Structure 1
Amino acid sequence: MLRETAFGTAKLMPDLDCEGGWLLTLDGTPQSYVDLRDPTHLEFEYTRRLGHLTDALAPTGRPLDALHLGGGALTLPRYLAATRPGSRQRVAEADGPLVDLVAEVLPWTGQGIEVTVGDAREVLRDTPAGSTDLVVADVFRGSLTPAHLTSTEFVALAAAALRPGGCYAANLADSAPLDFARAQAATVRSVFAHCCLVAEPSVLRGRRFGNLLLIGSGEPLPVQPLARRLAADPFPARLVADEELRRLVRGAHPVTDEHARPSPTPPQGAFSIG
């Protein structure tokens, strides 16, 4: 199914190799993969890493209150609803026509998921202080993270929304020399006492463009359980924390609203599909 949305041409396509599987693209860039028969099936590597994080955050099955900035086809909210029944989840998605398309083809009613059409930062600003366990920032305009979602002011809003022990996670994309990712890590570290970065080794070494997950919290993160889950994944990722993270961000400075820029443009074909 093809539809013009607020930010481009969205296409929802059934996966012919997986009954119940659907792929959402926007202008040819993959945005979400949903398996209606098995919402615990996380197709994209970065989504699995977010799933590993949610698995490690609290005892198995305990509900979480989550705010998702960026909706797509609601892959992670559906995963949380399946693995932690009773979770209360709010999703902010700026693309209203995209929300309508997903609701029409891949409805989510009865799962404790509320979708708000609006700018992620504005929704975050209006979120009551100390009201959520998890804030996930996974916002792309096409293939770029908008500049106003990359600053210390934005991350501070996320910190204010979290309960004690709550966690902030941001999905980003970068390549060598990782200047954007390093600045974003410095930004998260300037707000949260505890921080780690997750990425595929080849991305960390600057060999290819790819996703990186930045995680912050006011209290110690479940680094060891998360690292074990990441290492056991079919596409293993590395977790960088403590002194190794300090070395990685050395020389990088936190980003403020005044100097914020979008994430770097991916090389041609980095995420596109035919």
Structure 2
Amino acid sequence: MDDAPADDGTFAFVTDERGGVTVVCDGHPQSYVDLDDPAMLAFEYVQHLAHALDLLPDGPIAVTHAGGAGMTLPRYVQHTRPGSPQIVLDPDAALTEAVRRELPLARGHRIRVRALDALVGLDGLKPQSADAFVLDAYAEGRVPAPLTTVETLGRVAEVLRPEGLALLNLADEPDQRYLARVLATLHTALPHLAIIATHELLKRKRFGNYVVVAGGSPFDVDQLRRLAARSPFPTGVRSGGPLERLRLSARPLTSHDSMLSPPPPDPGRWRIR
């Protein structure tokens, strides 16, 4: 399995000296999977998504994931909350089939993989059917524009239960203009917002991934800060006034005024460690 590319060359599995596997899609590291330790989350933004999920009450939770790749986060949920019903929406059937073959899911899982894109998959979900909706979908290293519009995120809000959370993994430049527009969009349907990211991103020092936590009801931001403090990466949480100012500086995204997330750095600059 070491550095075994797909037939079409769009993804590969790269095994490291510890036995963990990085799933590389379109030249970018997309997931890291350790079959022996599903709680080992190598990428900081995946840790941040996990921290947000940990805000939800103990026990099984219903989670819908838009974006699959190595299915690191569904594995984490199954490991930490056995019996959790989960849906993974990913149109790349070749990738998800290869992942399930090369990196099999644990026995007894309740993870259903649907070869659908997020928009089509959302239409098939029942109202108030999810405790969490995780948007972690990228195409050629960018978040597709239709996934962050008022229309789409309004539908996400309908799918969530009253205390449910939407979690979005968004990549942006240091100017945070894309992030600001998505925050403005989210606020129209899910007005309670927080961001979790490394300190260097919050200080606008480089391109990188922000995890936005959004709810229709208030959630425990102080607990999110405590969880973030445990991260091996210097991590912070933004909410309240600073986030309000950022949100108010931008207009919501709509189906008639949408945008892709900014292009990532040259894939040649990535290193798998």
TM range, smaller chain: over 0.9
* 2:27 equivalent to 1:28: yes
Match of 2:93, as an amino acid? G
> Retained in 2: the 8 A contact 1:69–1:92?
yes
* 2:170 equivalent to 1:172: yes
Partner of 1:152: 150
Q: Please give the per-residue CA displacement for 1:231-264, whole angstroms capped at 9, x wherever unaligned.
A: 2211022211111211222321111111111101
* 2:81 equivalent to 1:80: no
Q: CA deviation at 1:269?
A: 4.5
Partner of 1:3: 6
Match of 2:87, as an amino acid? R
State the secondary structure of the residue aligned to 1:208: coil
> Retained in 1: the 8 A contact 2:52–2:213?
no
Match of 1:49, as an amino acid? H
Unaligned segments of structure 1, at least 5 residues: none
State the secondary structure of the residue aligned to 1:145: coil
Q: Please give the per-residue CA displacement for 1:135-179, whole angstroms capped at 9, x wherever unaligned.
A: 000000021000110111111111000111011010000012111
TM-score, normalization: structure 2?
0.94
Task: Please give the residue correspondences for 1:1-274 in structure 2 after superposition, counting only pairs within 5 Å.
Answer: 1-4=4-7, 9-16=10-17, 18-19=18-19, 21-59=20-58, 62-108=59-105, 110-269=108-267, 272-273=270-271
Work out the CA distance in 2 between the residues paired with 1:271 and 1:146: 23
| Number of residue-to-residue matches in the alignment | 268
> Retained in 1: the 8 A contact 2:45–2:209?
yes
Q: Please give the per-residue CA displacement for 1:68-104, whole angstroms capped at 9, x wherever unaligned.
A: 0000110000000000011000000111110111011
> Retained in 2: the 8 A contact 1:28–1:273?
no
> Retained in 2: the 8 A contact 1:166–1:218?
yes
State the secondary structure of the residue aligned to 2:270: coil
Work out the CA distance in 2 between the residues paired with 1:30 and 1:90: 22
Q: Share of identical aligned residues, percent?
A: 36
Alpha carbons of 1:216 and 1:57: their partners in 2 closer, same or farther (altered >3 Å)? same
State the secondary structure of the residue aligned to 1:257: coil
State the secondary structure of the residue aligned to 2:188: helix
Q: Please give the per-residue CA displacement for 1:23-70, whole angstroms capped at 9, x wherever unaligned.
A: 1001320010011001010010000011111112213xx100000000
> Retained in 2: the 8 A contact 1:30–1:271?
no
> Retained in 2: the 8 A contact 1:31–1:72?
yes
> Retained in 1: the 8 A contact 2:68–2:89?
yes
Q: CA deviation at 1:271?
A: 6.6
> Retained in 1: the 8 A contact 2:34–2:40?
yes
Please tell me the root mean square deviation across aligned C-alpha atoms, in Å.
1.5
> Retained in 2: the 8 A contact 1:67–1:135?
yes
TM-score, normalization: structure 1?
0.94
